[in-house]
Amino acid sequence: QNLSAFSGTLRTDGVGRFVVNLAPDSRVWFFAVKDGFVQPCGASVDARSDQRIDVEMVTASSLDSPSPPLPQSAADPTTTGTIFETTAAGRMPVVGADIYVQNAYTELASTRSDRRGAFYLCRLPNHVGLLVRKEGYGDGATGPFDGSRAQVLEIELKRR
């Protein structure tokens, strides 16, 4: 899997470890990417000396259940909400929409809407936005908002 740090890419070893030299006294956010997985919680570290950071990923398929489990590293503050479309029959959930958390520099976390159109994100920084994508729909977006405070977001997608 690839990890973005300083807008660069790192590769993990066979057990998922990586090493990077960081600028001292800086906060660094890590975003992991692997087909079939999402990273619903932000992962960051204050660079000082040798430190360990765990970047938890969950299978995207685990979100396709009536009651998807929260990540093991779930923690406050959380950003939750619903992805929906408005139809002649009323408001309907958009299932399986990809949701990306971004700041001005890079992606910080990702998830997918579940069977109810609901999503869960945690440990996000201030001043982030969400980009929502689903085939057959125009992209949806919201932000910037303060991800360091708990909130509930409602994002509408429109069919193309």
Q: Per-residue pLDDT for the chain (160 aa), expressed as one digit of tens each?
A: 444 444 456 666 776 665 656 556 677 788 888 999 999 999 888 776 666 778 899 999 999 887 898 999 898 999 999 999 999 999 999 999 999 999 988 899 999 999 999 999 999 999 999 999 999 999 999 999 999 999 999 999 999 9
Q: Which of 81, 65, 76, 67 is nearest to 119 (CA)?
A: 81
DSSP secondary-structure letter at 27? E
Confidence (pLDDT) at 4: 42
Interstrand relation of 2-5 and 8-11 (parallel, antiparallel or unpaired): antiparallel
b/e per residue, 109-125, with b = 16+ CB within 10 A? bbbbbbeebbbbbbbbb
Confidence (pLDDT) at 55: 87
Token representation of residue 101: 């958390």
pTM summary value: 0.82
